[in-house]
Amino acid sequence: MPNRPGVIGAVSGEEAEIVSKVCIVLTSGSREKLQFAAMMASVAAVSTYDVTVFISMNALPYFVEGDTAPAPAEGEMGKLIEEKNAPEFLDLLEQAVELGEAKIHPCSMAVDILGVSEDELKPFLAEPMGLTKFLSLAEGGQCWSF
């Protein structure tokens, strides 16, 4: 029996282990969207989902080591998140990796455009990934875009 999307190890005569995939595309540089993407990634990763996050466009500069200006709030909720004791989105994403084995890949195109090396990116990130590979990984899973 061929493997079906979302089903890993579905081999004839063996019991299939079902793993639901959650794929998150993060392209926004606003605090609100970075925050919610990080919330979703962390909770999904610790709740038995197989999580892949793909970071591109205006989101990527926040994953470069060093002093980066805070992400603009965008709206009222973003301002409140800044004022109150909400978890930092970078901390949540790191927890997604450490506690839930999420894979967080920077987009290889965006890495090239930004002109940074892998060594300059946050250490919890996995290797840069191309869109073709991401689309292949995301096949059959839930896909969320922020």
CB of 72 to other proteins, least distance (A): 20
Stretch of 10-18, 81-89, 107-115, 137-145 lying at the interface with other proteins (CB under 8 A):
81-89
**44 Cβ contact partners less than 8 Å away, ≥ 6 residues apart:** 22, 51, 96, 100, 102
CB of 46 to other proteins, least distance (A): 5
Residue of 27, 26, 24 whose CA lies nearest to 57 = 27
Which one of 13, 14, 84, 136 is in contact with other proteins (CB under 8 A)? 84
Site for other proteins in 1-60 (CB under 8 A): 39, 42-43, 46-48
Q: Identify which of residues 37 and 60 has a Cβ nearer to other proteins in the complex.
A: 37
- Does residue 92 bind other proteins (CB under 8 A)? yes
Task: Check: CB of residue 124 under 8 Å from CB of residue 99.
Answer: no
CB of 43 to other proteins, least distance (A): 5
Q: Which helix (H) or strand (E) holds 83?
A: helix 76-83
Beta pairing partners, 53: 24, 104
CA distance 124 to 76: 30
Footprint of other proteins (CB under 8 A): 39, 42-43, 46-48, 84-87, 92, 95, 99
